[in-house]
Amino acid sequence: MNFNSFQQLIARLLLISLFLQSCGGGFDNNPLIPTGEEQVASIQTTTQAILPRADIQPLTGQVLTAEGGHAVTFYKEAGELKANVAMDVPEGFSKTYEGVEVLLEQGAELSDLPRLSEQAQQRRIYLQPAQGNQPAKVVIYKGVGLMGGGSSEDEGEEEGTYQLVVESGEKEAEEIEQEKEKLQIIRHTKRGVAEAHYHYNLWREDFLKLQPLTSVRIQPEKVPMQELMKLFEIKEGEFLEKQVKEVLEDADGIIPEPEPEPFNKRHKIYGQFIICEQTLPADDGGYPGNLPDFKKRTRVGFNGDGLLYQNNSILDSSEQALWALNPKGKMCIFFRDRHPDIPSQVHHTFFFKTSGIGKPVACSGIIRVCKGKIVSIDNDSGRYQPSVTQLLLAAKYLFNKGILDPTISVNDVVRDKSFTLKEMLIFAHSLDLT
């Protein structure tokens, strides 16, 4: 072999080694699909440029759940994956996106998505709302390498919190730091304060359109006398009329007149309830207890037998608990002794939320439940500060579900006033919100 041939051989080997290095399996060959405005121009924006067309079929015609509880319907159009999104907003409100572009993190596996639970789907699918001139997008992340103390279907994973799965000697220290930085990007995307307030403003626009609470009048003639006589086994109608008069004679000091517009924007009339938003809406996403499945774990059921159920068992505890009732009549109760794994900081806003911010409620406070029956309930909630009127209407709703104990104490913490079951029903039936 002469000298020139040897040089040529070395040159070829160098070229081959450079080529192999560029084809290596480093983390940067699996980029995240960015969602920031400044990054959009640098990425491929068509689904097929990111994933082969054949792999799109598992999502075609599927309805899955994105983070925040939004329903995402996938379909194929001109060979590309598109989506229609129905946002999770209170009953009576509506917000939809149609023909939304779908972006995939390179390497994302789609065939398993339809088989995952809703909570697991929410950890993979993210809605980037429209902002300014930028249209809405749906981003699907891959599940490999992102864990929350369990499998991708672990219902108890804390939203937006991940740990790296790295085998010993698998990655160099610099590559591990790069992965950590990119995980922080995901965490910020899923839990960013700006995103949270964007979602909050979406449903607040509809909330402000609801009928304002301008007055609360007491009308004794609305009290169902025959119904109460039968309920409390009262034989003399005149005796009950006297009781009603005695209960309502101090109504002006008990039922406050609502503040006039524009000062009272927190309270709105919604069906049979008065609903209110938080006093100072804030992103509660940073609290360890604000888990994505908090509502599911604390939801209670009314099975028609006069008892409260949670996770298929009758509620029974000697402890007090947090409770909240949403505008749809759905109720959640958090007992510390039933959920010892949840961190200590828990607030009423964790039950019904979007992007970490609590939605309006019909009422919230502290509750006690014994053998499936509510024995005491109040409106002690610093986040929502519901009025006594809200408490009475919520208690009447729960009475109609048959889950109030006859000896129940309904307590207004604002005026330190307690109502018996009979007093609560008299007040609640006499309220006129029109």
Final residue of a structural domain among 161, 191, 221 = 191
Q: Number of structural domains, the chain?
A: 2
CA neighbor of 66 nearest in space, from 179, 189, 156, 161: 189
The b/e string for 126-157 (b: 16+ C-beta within 10 A; e otherwise) is bbbbeeeeeebbbbbbbbeebebeeebebeeb
Does residue 261 share a domain with residue 348? yes
Which residue type sits at 360? Answer: P
Are 184 and 233 within one domain? no
Q: Is residue 162 part of a domain?
A: yes
- CA dist 138 and 127 (Å) reads 5
150 and 283 fall within a common domain:
no
Residues 56 and 130 occupy one common structural domain: yes
Residue 82 sits in the same domain as residue 158: yes
Residue 376 within any structural domain of the chain? yes
Q: Residue 43's domain spans which residues? A: 24-191
| 16, part of any domain | no
Residue 38 placed within a domain? yes
Residue 126, beta-bridge partner list: 139
> pLDDT means per 10 residues in the chain (434 residues)?
51 50 39 36 37 68 88 91 84 78 83 85 84 82 44 32 34 50 43 60 80 88 92 89 90 75 77 90 70 88 93 93 96 91 84 83 97 97 94 97 97 94 96 84
User: In whole angstroms, what is the distance from residue 424 CA to residue 414 CA?
Assistant: 16
Domain assignment present for residue 200? The answer is: no
Would you say residue 277 lies in a domain?
A: yes
Shared domain check, 220 and 169: no
- The answer on 221 and 187 residing in a single domain is no
| pLDDT value of position 215 | 83
147 with 288, same domain: the answer is: no
Indicate whether 33 and 173 sit together in one domain: yes
Check residue 93 and give its pLDDT: 63
- C-alpha R_g of the chain: 28
Residue 236 shares a structural domain with residue 378: yes
**Do 279 and 176 share a domain, yes or no?**
no
CA gap 351, 346 in Å, rounded: 9
Same structural domain for residues 183 and 223? no
The answer to whether residue 18 sits within a structural domain is no
Full 3-state SS string of the chain: CCHHHHHHHHHHHHHHHHHHHHCCCCHHHCCCCCCCCCCHHHCCCCHHHHCCHHHHHHHCCCEEEECCCEEEEEEEECCEEEEEEECCCCCCCCCEEEEEEEEECCCCCCCCHHHCCHHHHHCCEEEECCECCECCEEEECCCCCEECCCCCCCCCCCCCCCEECCCCCCCCHHHHHHHHHHHHHHHHHHHCHHHHHHHHHHHHHHHCCCEECCCCEECHHHCCHHHHHHHCCCCCHHHHHHHHHHHHCCHHHHCCCCCCCCCCCCEEEECCEEEECCCCCCCCCCCCCCCCCHHHHHECEECCCCCEEECCEECCCCCCEEEEECCCCCEEEECHHHCCCCCCCCCHHHCCEECCEECCECEEEEEEEECCEEEEEECCCCCCCCCHHHHHHHHHHHHHCCCEEEEEEEEECCCCEEECHHHHHHHHHHEECC
In-domain check, residue 206:
no
